[in-house]
């Protein structure tokens, strides 16, 4: 017996709509959550039309365009959600499309996994689903592949629609302070060298996160604790979590070294995960939360580096400022149009408006979201305060961020107030310094 996929009823409606509109093969991604006992699909999104595509391309699939879309969508998914498979809508026989679907699902997984900084676990589900839909008969053929095995053969899988799949899913959130200082090689301050050094530092930081202690509602729960134990059925649950991270031990050789500059990543981020309600364990929740923390920081840093690299190529030959402060994009959440708490997220740069956020949701996820649907409360955009003082580069990050005092609590003591203000802003900054 193959894997079983429980699919949100709205996905059936979405695929039917694409069947009515399609003129030629339509490909797309299936988004959901994989578990040991069962898999869930909560939404589907078609591959955007490529502007430069021509009729000469015929019915051939653009694998490069498809996988890049998969990478961008993967960045928009909070903890607990991932690209679990691919679909194709075509009147070509299912047997004839199986090879193409296999290529797409492996290519997408390879590109997405190349950006992950966390280590895979032995209990990770590595099977992904492929779905063929005939637009005329509406017949579906579902197969799964083990993407960990390059020689994996197609296995039959069960595809079953159900309403309110995630209506009682668990929501967990966490706010974490980030403070990283990354030295750059001597006399090498190009974006390429920054990218390499930042990835190395982020990997080391990811290991710290993985070894951290996770408190759920202030308690360290045993790994096999069922989070839904003692709770009423179909009742939405939310948990607040904390990650306690031990400071990294520094060797003497790490303290003093010659460098050509540095990159500092400072601020606070909001992490959130969604967890299925079929007897989820504390171990799974902790794993997903830590992975989301690592992924959201790494994604933002990578997005800024891509922007810097693009601007660097445009202004070749011009000198760069010795000190540069860049606001990392903030995380904005948008609910999926299904019954339940599940949201996707978008990263909004400081110079972007909410209309650009909704445009990105439409382009990447084919979601018609209004600006009032967006949850912008979790993170506040950091504001760079201009200053001519040379010593500003060494001041705490809170000095370079517009601080808003917490509304619900009154803190006593300067140190506590400063820390609380920094967490309340939930904004991140990236500093670039040349020596």
- Note the pLDDT tens digit of each residue in 233-287: 556 689 999 999 887 655 444 556 667 778 888 889 999 999 998 888 999 999 9
Q: Which two structure tokens, joined as six digits, stand for 204? A: 């080391």
Q: Are 91 and 134 in contact (CB under 8 A)?
A: yes
Distances (CA, A) of 109 to 102, 248, 310, 409: 11, 32, 26, 44
232 pLDDT more than 60? no
pLDDT in tens, 104-140: 999 999 999 999 998 888 889 999 999 999 999 999 9
Q: What is the pLDDT of residue 255?
A: 58
Residue (of 115, 118, 125) closest to 84 by Cα position: 125
In the chain, the domains with their CATH numbers are 4-162 (3.40.140.10), 170-249+256-320+330-378 (no CATH)
Q: What pTM value is reported for the model?
A: 0.85
Q: Which residues on adjacent β-strands are paired with residue 409?
A: none
């Amino acid at each position: 017996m193959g894997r079983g996929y429980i699919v949100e009823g709205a996905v059936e409606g979405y695929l039917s709509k694409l069947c009515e509109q399609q003129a030629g093969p339509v490909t797309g991604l299936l988004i959901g959550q994989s578990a040991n006992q069962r898999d869930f699909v909560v939404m589907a999104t078609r591959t955007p039309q490529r502007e430069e595509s021509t009729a000469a391309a015929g019915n051939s699939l653009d694998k490069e365009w498809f996988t890049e879309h998969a990478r961008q969508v993967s960045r928009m998914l909070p903890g607990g959600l991932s690209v679990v498979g691919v679909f194709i809508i075509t009147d070509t026989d299912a047997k004839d499309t199986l090879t193409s679907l296999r290529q797409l699902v492996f290519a997408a997984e390879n590109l997405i996994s190349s950006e992950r900084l966390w280590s895979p676990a032995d209990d990770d589900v590595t099977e992904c689903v492929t779905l063929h839909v005939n637009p005329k008969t509406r017949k579906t053929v579902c197969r799964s592949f083990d993407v960990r095995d390059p020689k994996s053969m197609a296995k039959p899988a069960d595809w079953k629609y159900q309403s309110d799949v995630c209506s009682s899913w668990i929501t967990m959130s966490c706010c974490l302070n980030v403070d990283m200082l990354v030295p750059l090689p001597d006399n090498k301050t190009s974006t390429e060298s920054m990218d390499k050094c930042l990835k190395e530092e982020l990997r080391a930081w990811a290991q710290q996160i993985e070894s951290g202690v996770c408190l759920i509602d202030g308690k360290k729960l045993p790994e096999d604790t069922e989070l839904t134990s003692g709770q009423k059925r179909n009742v939405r649950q939310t948990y607040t979590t904390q990650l306690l991270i031990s400071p990294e031990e520094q060797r003497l050789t790490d303290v003093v070294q010659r460098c050509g500059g540095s990159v500092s990543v400072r601020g606070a981020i909001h992490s959130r995960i969604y967890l299925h309600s079929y007897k989820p364990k504390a171990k799974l929740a902790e794993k997903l939360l830590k992975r989301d923390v690592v992924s959201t920081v790494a994604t933002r840093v990578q997005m800024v580096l891509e922007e810097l690299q693009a601007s660097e190529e445009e202004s070749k030959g011009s000198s760069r400022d010795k000190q540069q402060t860049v606001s990392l994009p903030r995380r904005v959440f948008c609910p999926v149009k299904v019954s339940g708490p599940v949201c996707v997220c978008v990263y909004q740069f400081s110079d972007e408006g909410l209309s650009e956020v909704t445009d990105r949701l439409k382009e990447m996820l084919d979601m018609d979201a209004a600006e009032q649907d967006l949850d912008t409360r979790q993170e506040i955009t950091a504001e760079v305060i201009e200053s001519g003082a040379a010593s500003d580069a060494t001041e705490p990050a809170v000095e370079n961020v517009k601080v808003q005092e917490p509304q619900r609590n009154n803190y006593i003591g300067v140190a506590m107030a400063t820390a609380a203000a920094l967490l309340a802003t939930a904004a991140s900054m990236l500093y670039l310094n040349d020596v």
